């Protein structure tokens, strides 16, 4: 898909990966709806993006992806402003094992909700324009990760859900592609963790000191690949600090 004049909806767009993706697609001539539960941060980001890319090309909407009707209203606001949505990035997420139900509700419930909403809107066989749905999973969703098992499971669900929909033959006529983005650790606010948010934080910290983080730029590269390469469907795009961006089409990877 060429991004010029397309409309991209990004949950968790106020900061981190989401904000960086918004910047990148605006540079390619797209329009963006930044949707986030953090209102001050979201409005500040939208202002910044409007200053660099034009006030009419950026919208901020307050959105909690764990609340179906709020999420639906946010999506409707984007459609009402821009006419349609061509790319849906279900990217909002948290890492907090203390509140595993809420974590699941955001990380997987939000993705499921956003995917179905975007799919109903985009389906070409039902009057839409087609499109791409990009769901942020994690490498932690492909490999067991003992420091945050419920988070890892939520991300595994994202990958599996996305790849399963991508296999549905109806998606061809619908002209919808679905892709998962699976970054390794990256230095964003997500990893500013209080000790009790994960299991054995001291060990996690020790391991992360040895690991090459992936960069936010590499993650953006993966998002752009997912949007622009029309041959990619059902794929998990992995991003590892050392190896960079890789396309992997896989069933869940067996445990070593």
Ligand X SMILES: NC(=O)c1ccc[n+]([C@@H]2O[C@H](COP(=O)([O-])OP(=O)(O)OC[C@H]3O[C@@H](n4cnc5c(N)ncnc54)[C@H](O)[C@@H]3O)[C@@H](O)[C@H]2O)c1
**What is the binding site for ligand X (CB under 6 A)?**
11-12, 14-18, 36-38, 63-66, 91-94, 106, 136, 138, 183, 185-186, 188-191
**76 or 172: CB nearest ligand X:** 76
For the bound state, the minimum distance from the C-beta of residue 44 to ligand X, rounded and expressed in Å, comes to: 11
Residue found under tokens 């006529």: 173
- Let me know if 146 is a catalytic residue: no
For the bound state, the minimum distance from the C-beta of residue 136 to ligand X, rounded and expressed in Å, comes to: 4
DSSP assigned state of 232: -
In sequence order, what DSSP letters do the residues of 103-131 get, joined into one string? HHIIIIIHHHHHHHHHHHHH-GGGTS--E
**64 or 86: CB nearest ligand X:** 64
Compute the residue count for the chain.
Answer: 256
For the bound state, the minimum distance from the C-beta of residue 115 to ligand X, rounded and expressed in Å, comes to: 14
**21 or 174: CB nearest ligand X:** 21
The set of catalytic residues is: 151
């Amino acid at each position: 898909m060429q991004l010029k004049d397309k409309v991209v909806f990004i949950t968790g767009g106020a900061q981190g990966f989401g904000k960086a993706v918004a910047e990148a697609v605006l540079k390619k001539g797209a329009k963006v709806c930044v949707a986030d539960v953090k209102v001050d941060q979201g409005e500040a980001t939208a202002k910044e993006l409007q200053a660099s890319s034009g006030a009419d090309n950026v919208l901020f909407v307050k959105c909690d992806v764990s609340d179906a009707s709020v999420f639906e209203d946010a999506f409707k606001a984007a459609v009402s402003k821009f006419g349609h949505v061509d790319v849906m990035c279900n990217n909002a997420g948290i890492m907090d094992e203390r509140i595993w139900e809420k974590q699941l509700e955001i990380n997987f419930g939000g993705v499921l909700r956003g995917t179905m909403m975007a799919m109903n809107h985009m389906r070409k066989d039902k009057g839409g324009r087609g499109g791409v749905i990009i769901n942020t999973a994690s490498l932690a969703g492909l490999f067991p990760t003992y420091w945050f098992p419920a988070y890892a499971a939520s991300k595994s669900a994202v990958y599996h859900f996305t790849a399963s929909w991508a296999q549905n033959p109806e998606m061809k006529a619908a002209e919808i592609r679905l892709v998962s983005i699976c970054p390794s650790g990256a230095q964003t606010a997500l990893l500013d963790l209080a000790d009790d948010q994960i299991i054995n934080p001291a060990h996690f910290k020790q391991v992360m000191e040895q690991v090459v983080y992936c960069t936010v730029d590499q993650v953006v590269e993966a998002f752009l690949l997912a949007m622009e390469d029309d041959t990619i469907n059902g794929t998990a795009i992995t991003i590892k600090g050392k190896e960079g961006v890789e396309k992997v089409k896989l069933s869940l990877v067996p445990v070593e």
